[in-house]
Chain A
Amino acid sequence: MAPSSPAAGVPASRVVLDDAEIARALTRITHEILERNHGSDDVVLLGIPTRGVPLARRIASRMSEVEGRSITAGSLDVTMYRDDLRRGPIRSLEHTDVPDDVDGRTVVLVDDVLMSGRTIRAALDALADYGRPQAVQLAVLVDRGHRELPIRADFVGKNLPTSLSEKVKVRLAESDDESDTVTIQGDA
């Protein structure tokens, strides 16, 4: 069922989640979000570009099925809030689309991989400029550890203990034109 890793030639690349496992994880996360928040009434889903956005949309469509109403996900670009902008060349901006007023709502941020926590720190700063949510929660497909900030995820697809020399690669049909996989590369 799992497609073989597309990264030919890279040593020791192994698939840790295939498309069916990713689908099951997202379904579980959807139910966990609904359970934690007693339904979807006050929930605003915001994906962090690039791959957080299709993940947030998938969660939104699962949520729509369960709740019997149309729920959409937005996107929140954090580029202008990053703490490493001055360390590298200019990054292009991604699209931001915050569909609802976030004041007093529960915002669920969605991203693909949680590592240092710096992207989420930037997202929290960005969110504060859009309003004052009642609460902010975090859903990630993979938590690979190595946190550098006091940030944790509320909903996790898979905890993946890794070493810093490894790379976690997420591929999604919407953003990469490949079937869904999570692989670990460069085993030390």
Chain B
Amino acid sequence: MKHLLSAGDLSRDDAIRVLDTAEELLGVAQRPIKKLPTLRGRTVVNLFFEDSTRTRISFEAAAKRLSADVINFSAKGSSASKGEGLKDTALTLQAMGADAVVVRHHHSGAPHRLAHAQWTNGAVINAGDGTHEHPTQALLDAFTMRRHLVGLPGGPGGGAGPRAAEGTDLADKHVTIVGDVLHSRVARSNALLLHTLGAHVTLVAPPTLLPVGVESWPVETSYDLDASLEKADAVMMLRVQRERMNASYFPSAREYSRRYGLDVARMNRLPEHAIVMHPGPMNRGMEINADVADSPRSVIVEQVTNGVAVRMAVLYLLVGGATEGNDA
């Protein structure tokens, strides 16, 4: 694994290795000194052409816990707003000696271009490109699901150790992903990764918010949320991405919320062990009800904690060992 561009590039063994590594690294947050010396002297650049707070600080925390030097580059107030393109930015970062480039871009495929155009020697990690993919989000979601659905048989707060989950996948778990699939890179990455890990994915959305070609994805689709609640082990609510909506995809926010929002009544129809997830940031009252978001079933805050461990695992696996040409 040289780059992490798509969740679909990960084999089952690759994915389980990331999850198992993250499982060990999760313990670092509980120690008196929350730092490992592993990436000392390595440089990680956060290259963000699109606004993001949580993903950027998650990557920043992950890199810093591994002792890497972190350079944050955000498009606002930088040379990108003066018209510099991806290529020149990348060449600049290469000249500074970036070992890993974490890139978020509003155009789908930008990380792919960056990785394959030989502009930089560093490992490229896709932190969200357009409406395409967000593989580390999918990994942290799978990690959270595995801890709860495989490692902790009692459900959230159950007693058994999460180590029981190590080395396992998500075989035969049912995951329902609800909402704006069309604009969601989270949904696409999750669909690919969860399929690799053996889970059954159902995408639930109004017809206008399902992408063209979804029938070629390894998933089932449905227009009816209520029909897919009873068998779900995990329900993932997607954010309604108003900033990407330049047309009317549904009649009104209230109607969307009535048909596709997760409220307490719907949550109560889920199996006892099922967990509620959301990649954040949430529109409370839109796709998810505030009482659901704050309920004990919700693992939304835990997803954030797990995100740091998973990103540490990805950084370690990509740049922790010998890399060609970068050690001279």
Shortest CB-to-CB span from A123 to chain B, Å, is: 13
Contacts of B35 in A (CB 8 A): 129
Task: Answer whether residue B215 sits at the interface, using C-beta atoms and an 8 A cutoff.
Answer: no
Known: A92-B21, A93-B25. A86 touches B32 (CB 8 A): no
* Interface residues in A, total, Cβ within 8 A: 20
Question: How many contacting A-B pairs (Cβ < 8 A)?
Answer: 49
| Chain B residues, Cβ within 8 Å of A80 | 36-38, 66, 316
In the complex, what distance in Å separates the CA atom of A91 from the CA atom of B36? 15
From A87, A90, A95, A131, give the contact of B317 (CB < 8 A): A90
Q: Is there contact, CB below 8 Å, between B36 and A90?
A: no
Residue of A nearest to B17 (CB): A92
The answer to whether B320 touches A90 (Cβ under 8 A) is yes
**What residues of B have a CB within 8 angstroms of the CB of A86 in the complex?**
321-323, 327
- Is B227 positioned at the interface, with any CB of A under 8 Å from its CB? no
Shortest CB-to-CB span from A24 to chain B, Å, is 33
Whole-angstrom distance between the alpha carbons of A17 and B322 in the complex? 36
- Cβ contacts under 8 Å, A88 to chain B: 321-322
Proximity bits, A53-96, B CB within 8 Å = 1, else 0 = 00000000000000000000000010011000111111111111
User: How long is the Cα–Cα vector from A121 to B96 in the complex, in angstroms?
Assistant: 32
Majority-rule SS of B interface residues:
loop
- Chain A residues contacting B25 (CB-CB under 8 Å) are 93
Enumerate chain B residues within 8 angstroms of A96, measured Cβ to Cβ.
24, 27
User: Which of chain B's residues has its CB closest to A86's CB?
Assistant: B322
In the bound complex, residues from chain A placing their C-beta under 8 Å from that of B36 are 80-81, 129
Contact partner of A125 (CB less than 8 A), chosen from B27, B32, B37, B317, is B37
> Closest CB-CB distance, A71 to chain B, in whole Å?
20
| Complex Cα gap A96–B31 (Å) | 11
Interface string of A121-147 (1 = CB under 8 A from B): 000010011110000000000000000
Q: How far is the CA of A90 from the CA of B18 in the complex (A)?
A: 12
Binding site for A on B (CB under 8 A): 17, 20-21, 24-25, 27, 31-33, 35-38, 66, 163, 316-317, 320-323, 327
Interface residues of A (CB under 8 A from B): 77, 80-81, 85-96, 125, 128-131
| Given A80-B66, A80-B316, 5 additional A-B pairs, CB 8 A | A85-B320, A89-B321, A90-B317, A91-B321, A93-B20
